[in-house]
Amino acid sequence: MTARRVLTHPGPRNPARFTALPCRARPVELQLQAGIPVEQAVVQAFSQAGFSAGYLRLADASFTRLSYVIPGPAPGDGRAAWYSATHVIEDAVLAEAGLHLGRKNGAPFLHCHGLWSDVGGPLRMGHLLTGDSILARDLHVSGWGLSGATLEVQPDPETGFELFTPTATTSSRTGQPALLCRLRPNEDPHALLPQAGATLGKARIEGLGSLINTSFTDGTQDSYATEVLLRSGRLDRDGVTIEAASVGLDGEPMSGILHPHDNRICITAEVLLIAEP
């Protein structure tokens, strides 16, 4: 199947095909300020709640300006994929998004995938440029503040990218047991996540990443590089179930249940597993 395609990356294969660091995830309700870059609004809101790392779910948001990119063809330097030119929507409506807060070179850094449109227009999807996107109105959001681990941008020799990588931090005793994970390229997420989350048993799955020819139970996205948002997910003794949205090189989003064991990671996946009773 096309979903089983393997991409060639420029560097040596890392023998560790996933990273999973224990942490604590505390539910948070935050207010994002309008009129400033989303990046600044998120960092400010998390800081006020006492966190420098976390994951947020955004929904039903109005933007005066929304900038994003979608997957682009390989740039010719050995890396397997790249990004498109920047797309900008004025007066945009964000339907849904997921957002990781971590750090890069000691400063806050965000990674966000989502679905949006202009008013009355078709649904689009991509990688939100949080430093160049501005909310029209304050937005109430839900998510999790993390202690014990954060995502830190580090050079990745295998892919040739700088990527979010779980890094240990000072832990708190408050919050739910969780695991902050990264999955490596050409691997099956339905196989890796039970291994990564073995200590938790049952877990909620949150996150985002990229897949090769995203395979759903009712169809396949014909694009060797896609950006993916995990809309909902669960890990239990029966395995992994994930509902996701995906966009490829043509910019047309698809969504549905990911076909078990028919997907492979393109570049990376950044996943938060939160223990459930």
Contact 27, 115 (CB under 8 A): no
State CA 13 to chain mean position distance: 22
Strand ranges (DSSP E) for the chain? 18-32, 54-69, 71-72, 82-83, 87-104, 107-118, 124-128, 134-135, 139-147, 149-156, 161-168, 176-183, 203-211, 215-216, 219-220, 226-236, 239-247, 254-257, 265-275
Check residue 217 and give left, alpha or beta (phi > 0: left; psi -120 to 50: alpha): alpha
Q: Which domains does the chain have, with CATH numbers?
A: 2-23+146-275 (3.30.1330.80), 27-145 (3.30.1330.80)
Q: Report d(CA 267, CA 106) in Å as an integer.
A: 23
Whole-prediction pTM: 0.96
pLDDT at 4: 64
Q: Which helix (H) or strand (E) holds 191?
A: helix 189-196
pLDDT at 133: 99
pLDDT in tens, the chain (277 residues): 444 689 999 999 999 999 999 999 999 999 999 999 999 999 999 999 999 999 999 999 999 999 999 999 999 999 999 999 999 999 999 999 999 999 999 999 999 999 999 988 999 999 999 999 999 999 999 999 999 999 999 999 999 999 999 999 998 888 999 999 999 999 999 999 999 999 999 999 999 999 999 999 999 999 999 999 999 999 999 999 999 999 999 999 999 999 999 999 999 999 999 999 8
Sign of the alpha-carbon torsion through 7, 9, 12, 16: negative
Contact 96, 67 (CB under 8 A): no
pLDDT at 172: 84
